[in-house]
Amino acid sequence: MIFFDKLQASILQNQSLLFVGLDPNPEMMPLNYQSEDVISGLHDWLQFIIRETTDLVCAYKPTLGFYQALGVPGIELLEQVLAAIPSHIPVILDAKHGDLNTSTVFARTVFRDWNVDAITLSPYTGQDHVAPFLVYPDKAVFILCCSSNPGAEALQQYPTNESPLYLQVVKESKNWGTPEQLGLEVGTTNPEILALVRQVAPERVIMARSVWAEGSDLNRILAAGLTAKDDGLLIPVPQDMLNKPKLAENIHALCAEINQRKTQIVHGNSSCTLWLPDVCVLNQHPQQDLILQLYDLGCIMFGDFVQASGATFPYYIDLRKIISNPQVFNQVLSGYEEILKHLNFARLAGIPYGSLPTATGLALRLHCPMIFPRKEVKAHGTRKLIEGDFYPGETVAVVDDILITGKSVMEGAEKLKSAGLHVEDIVVLIDHEQGVKDRLRDYGYRGHSVFTLSEITETLYQAGRITQEQFLAFKES
């Protein structure tokens, strides 16, 4: 079972968003567990915490540094703690690992030898550091994007409060892994910071830290951190609760309070949907995360751009960067796949040259043979018009990247038909609209798109990625 599904199942089973830290900190150990044998006392205390919380929390989070500080006995203690955790509850190893040179070996150790489900990583060596952890498809990583430590503020808020470094970390790390593979760790006492992270990453799981500062507002924390589906937020059990009597009773009360507050917020959001449907995030596009990532990658740009036709548009679409970002490319393929699985065809055909990588990826995913019509016929060799094997009379689904006028994709479809193939459906990532699908229908084709340009601009505007001026310029174009 992949981490995301395991986490969701644990949340549903225990009706809890709480996770508990399993940290062998001698300074926090209750008096009744203290003895000359520190390791033995820590072992008994941590085992007690696990027994008391297995039906109250959705995840466990041991902090590697505490175990390492105890030397070899500490690592042995960690292995004993991991063995005691029920297999159905996910384990997030808090390692803040940041060394590129050891990432491959370390990933194998934590995911295969220790069998933990997820790990926290430092972002500052970039995607190369994270990649070895993402090759384990059933595991996940949490990227540290914000710390509550006051000394970090000078770095995290750089260069300005309006465009801080920690939000850039969020934007960049979203391109490294899918929402099922990569979450965010946000340590803050300020709900506004949590809200900004949620705005930039609407579908990511956020593991909140340091939210129990004096005077903290649980309602604001939940409202800021929950997704539009009222999930996606993990909340820590307060550390000082773990060394007090009646642990299970106290955590049960905290869990009940969180669920009650969450229900109140959900009802409040329902009212928002009724009265302000144009701004309520519950109306988000199903492909919102992908749209935002394409914008952040620079595949969708706004400004004054001269097109190939000579006309000036207030936007420009450049999808060539997608193939250099495997995680986003994977999401793009999923968008196409969701449409194609409802269509009938024997082969896929990509239109040269932009959609050939997409058609290739889809052919591998769908276990479907691929062909493509040549843009120009070779003057040597076989002089084929269609590359790949096929049989006349077969039905072909055509894949392209963008529908602007429909001219190039229809030219490709006509080449396929001239070879005796049937073309009924044309599937693209983006439809520029302006009646292009109607034009396809006039020629006997059904047009399908993952999203339209209007849906893209509406999503970007609601998410605060583009200004009202840019949004209106598109509307008027």
User: Which residues are annotated as part of the binding site for 5-phospho-alpha-D-ribose 1-diphosphate?
Assistant: 374-375, 378, 380, 400-408
Let me know: does 421 contact 392? Beta carbons within 8 Å.
Answer: yes
Q: Which residues are annotated as a binding site?
A: 374-375, 378, 380, 400-408
Strand partners, 119: 93, 141
Q: Which of 204, 242, 187, 203 is nearest to 56 (CA)?
A: 242
Cis peptide before 353 (omega within 30 of 0): yes
Residues recorded for the chain: 477
Of the CA atoms within 13 Å of residue 120, those in its CB half-sphere come to 25
Does the active-site annotation cover 96?
Answer: yes
> CA 26, 65, 245 angle in degrees (round to 5)?
35
Residue 128's identity, in one-letter code, is D
> CA 203, 326, 403 angle in degrees (round to 5)?
80
Strands (E), 225-362: 233-236, 300-306, 312-317, 347-350
Strands (E), 166-320: 182-187, 206-209, 233-236, 300-306, 312-317
Residue 81's contacts (CB-CB under 8 Å, 6 or more residues apart) are 22, 43, 46, 47, 50, 62
Catalytic residue from among 61, 96, 246, 341: 96
Residue 195's contacts (CB-CB under 8 Å, 6 or more residues apart) are 223, 224, 225
Report the catalytic residues: 96
